[in-house]
Chain A
Amino acid sequence: MGEEAILRAEGLNKYFGGVQAIADLSFSLRNGEFLGIIGPNGSGKTTLVNLITGFVKPSSGRVIYRGEEITRKRPYTIAGLGIVRTFQMVRLFYNLPAYKNLIIPLSSSRVKRLRGGAYGERDDVAVDLLDDMGFERDSFVPYKLAGSLPHGYLKRLDLARAMALRPEVLILDELFSGMAMSEVASTLPLIEKYHEEGLTIIMIEHRLKELFRVVDRVLVLNYGQKIAEGSPQEVMNTEAVKKAYLGIEVDV
């Protein structure tokens, strides 16, 4: 590979009681890479995101970010290092105007460090960010209550919340679930743009067509185990993936 891995997982295991959600999982991610993670429901995709971002502590194994172990660090420390996630079920503050939702990441010490003191008012930065993301400032969309916005906007607001932290690794947990086709079509170019600008992205997605268009590499999970890894074409031609993901029976 040549380039050093920005994020590496080594032998991750996670048990919830007797259930093994993640089984001896290792993978690495190059700087600037776009990795897709797919797998059937309950295969451990979201658990993997929780393990990387510190929301859940692994039973064993290590997560290494830029040569530093982050396995036992707290979620806010990991986010402060630049590994930022979105949530499958968006976690927003519905009683606040949309742009006020961005004040929370914008008042973190990470943003203070990166932007410096004289970067203008947080409110303006927040509205600018949302305007870039298709919240039309001229029709006052950023000023509307988050609770009054349609689902597609909420997903994008969650993405904006993550981008406000200026992430170095962005983890998108089923960003497109519940989005209309037109909303997906307008959000996908944004993510491609971030990737072209050098952002490392992990994307968990059920919409394979859209995912395969943008990712460099795919990792397939089933019952918490890695069953395949490689380019989209390679992965989808693997017998194990066909069996697990597409439900095709294969004689043993």
Chain B
Amino acid sequence: MVEAEARYRKKRLDRGIKVRADTIFAIASYKEILYLILPRALPVFGLLILPFVLTDYWGKVLVYACVYGLLALSWDFLASCGLFSLGQAFFLGIGAYIAGALSYYFHWSPAITMPIATLGGGVLCAALLSPVVRLRGVYFAMVTLMLPMLLMKMIETTGLLGGAQGLSALKPLPKGWIGGYIVVLVFMTCIFSFRRLINEDYGLVMKAIRDDDRAVMSAAINIYWRKIQALFLAGATGAFAGAFMTHHYQFVGMSTFALDYSILPVAAAALGGPGTFAGAALGSMILVPLSESLRALGGMRIAIYCGILIISVIALPEGIFHYLERKYHQFERLVRVG
């Protein structure tokens, strides 16, 4: 072995498909086409097939993972323009309660309440958070952390919208796999459209606001309006997840404002690798099933779960997806020396 190490060294190359501009690809063979398409197509096929092959229980876990995934995507999108939120539960809860109230008081079907909750939730989140878009970093995070608690206590004390009991016996989603399929499809649409958006000029300006907002202001761009737009998109994504959950469980209660919904998406994005959306999605696809499979361990579950999270953040601070992406574009081989 020592001899081999002496005469060979590892050579690492970056695959060079990209040509100068980001948007132009020079594709020479079916291999290169597969090289580009497979990493995108395989997860899509996987997610489309999973609802059919999974057992009833794991099918529910998949739906849950998609809901958390949507929240993680929404968090990642806000973070891309420098708004670090600790209140994804706020988005989720607003969407859940809009859909729940429309279904409970007006008996509207999910086909109507879910689009209304998505758009209305986005508008409401953007409007309620617009006074604080001037805050940055930890101050914005603190406000968003408080908001779900504020709404939860308001519902509890006033007894509005079902109070502590919540609203139950709501209209169900279509039976069978269709219900679960909706969230899977929206989840995938969000990944790809967010990834596209962030690579366009629009996303470039968003990331520039995160890096240096004064430079962007001096370029005559209303950064607060851009941040409100980001809040709308992120809010709508979270609100859809909430509206879906409401009809999925045919129930909406104060638990939609729980801290879990705020913290787990951040953990998922941190584990998967923030800033790529695919990382946030991957993170939630790992964390949610992991937390379910540890359920048998009882009280030890949370401790093990936290341990895994800490180890992964220390060992792979860039996130799993960044690591995989980098390795995918590199190939290593041994080269003879001398």
Chain A residues with Cβ below 8 Å from B204 are 96, 100, 103-104, 107
Take A103-B201, A123-B21, A143-B20 as given contacts and tell me if A80 and B220 are in contact as well, using a CB distance cutoff of 8 Å.
yes
**By the criterion CB–CB under 8 Å, are A74 and B202 in contact?**
no
Mark interface residues in A182-226 (1 if CB within 8 Å of B CB, else 0): 000000000000000000000000000000000000000000000
- How far does the alpha carbon of A222 sit from the alpha carbon of B172 in the complex, in Å? 74
**By the criterion CB–CB under 8 Å, are B201 and A76 in contact?**
no
B205 interface residue (CB < 8 Å to A): yes
Which of B34-42, B112-120, B209-217, B232-240 contacts its partner? B209-217
Q: Which residue of A lies closest to B219 (CB)?
A: A105
**By the criterion CB–CB under 8 Å, are B20 and A79 in contact?**
no
Take A76-B221, A76-B222, A143-B20 as given contacts and tell me if A104 and B216 are in contact as well, using a CB distance cutoff of 8 Å.
yes
Prevailing SS type, chain B contact patch: helix
Mark interface residues in A75-94 (1 if CB within 8 Å of B CB, else 0): 11101100011010001110
Take A122-B201, A123-B21 as given contacts and tell me if A93 and B219 are in contact as well, using a CB distance cutoff of 8 Å.
no
Q: Which residue of A lies closest to B225 (CB)?
A: A76
Chain B residues with Cβ below 8 Å from A55 are 214, 217-218
Chain A residues with Cβ below 8 Å from B208 are 93, 104
A53 interface residue (CB < 8 Å to B): yes
Q: How many residues of B contact A (CB 8 A)?
A: 19
Chain B residues with Cβ below 8 Å from A123 are 21
Chain B residues with Cβ below 8 Å from A161 are 219
Interface centre among A105, A106, A123, A140, by most chain B C-beta atoms within 10 angstroms, is: A105
Prevailing SS type, chain A contact patch: helix
B231 → chain A closest CB, angstroms: 18
**By the criterion CB–CB under 8 Å, are A87 and B218 in contact?**
yes
**By the criterion CB–CB under 8 Å, are A91 and B201 in contact?**
no
Take A93-B208, A96-B204, A107-B201 as given contacts and tell me if A79 and B219 are in contact as well, using a CB distance cutoff of 8 Å.
yes
- How far does the alpha carbon of A172 sit from the alpha carbon of B238 in the complex, in Å? 44
B326 → chain A closest CB, angstroms: 16
Chain B residues with Cβ below 8 Å from A30 are none
- How far does the alpha carbon of A30 sit from the alpha carbon of B205 in the complex, in Å? 34
Contact of B220 among A93, A105, A143 (CB under 8 A): A105
Take A122-B201, A123-B21 as given contacts and tell me if A165 and B212 are in contact as well, using a CB distance cutoff of 8 Å.
no
Take A75-B218, A76-B217, A108-B220 as given contacts and tell me if A93 and B201 are in contact as well, using a CB distance cutoff of 8 Å.
no
**By the criterion CB–CB under 8 Å, are A75 and B214 in contact?**
yes
A104 → chain B closest CB, angstroms: 5
A109 interface residue (CB < 8 Å to B): yes
**By the criterion CB–CB under 8 Å, are A79 and B212 in contact?**
no
Contact of A75 among B21, B201, B217 (CB under 8 A): B217
- How far does the alpha carbon of A87 sit from the alpha carbon of B219 in the complex, in Å? 12
**By the criterion CB–CB under 8 Å, are A108 and B221 in contact?**
yes
- How far does the alpha carbon of A215 sit from the alpha carbon of B216 in the complex, in Å? 29
- How far does the alpha carbon of A55 sit from the alpha carbon of B217 in the complex, in Å? 9
Chain B residues with Cβ below 8 Å from A107 are 201-202, 204-205, 221
B72 interface residue (CB < 8 Å to A): no
**By the criterion CB–CB under 8 Å, are B220 and A165 in contact?**
yes
**By the criterion CB–CB under 8 Å, are A140 and B20 in contact?**
yes
Chain B residues with Cβ below 8 Å from A96 are 204
Chain A residues with Cβ below 8 Å from B211 are 93
- How far does the alpha carbon of A221 sit from the alpha carbon of B325 in the complex, in Å? 55
- How far does the alpha carbon of A79 sit from the alpha carbon of B223 in the complex, in Å? 13
**By the criterion CB–CB under 8 Å, are A93 and B202 in contact?**
no
Mark interface residues in B195-211 (1 if CB within 8 Å of A CB, else 0): 00000011011001001
- How far does the alpha carbon of A123 sit from the alpha carbon of B24 in the complex, in Å? 13
Chain B residues with Cβ below 8 Å from A84 are 218, 220
Chain B residues with Cβ below 8 Å from A103 are 201, 204-205
Chain B residues with Cβ below 8 Å from A76 are 216-223
**By the criterion CB–CB under 8 Å, are B212 and A91 in contact?**
yes
Chain B residues with Cβ below 8 Å from A122 are 201
A57 interface residue (CB < 8 Å to B): no
A72 interface residue (CB < 8 Å to B): no
**By the criterion CB–CB under 8 Å, are A91 and B221 in contact?**
no
Take A91-B214, A93-B208 as given contacts and tell me if A165 and B201 are in contact as well, using a CB distance cutoff of 8 Å.
no
- How far does the alpha carbon of A96 sit from the alpha carbon of B202 in the complex, in Å? 14
Q: List 14 A-B contacts (CB under 8 A).
A: A55-B214, A76-B216, A77-B222, A79-B217, A79-B218, A84-B218, A84-B220, A85-B218, A87-B218, A91-B212, A93-B208, A104-B216, A161-B219, A164-B219
User: Which 8 A-B residue pairs are closest in the complex by CB-CB distance?
Assistant: A79-B220, A91-B215, A105-B219, A108-B220, A80-B220, A75-B217, A76-B217, A104-B219
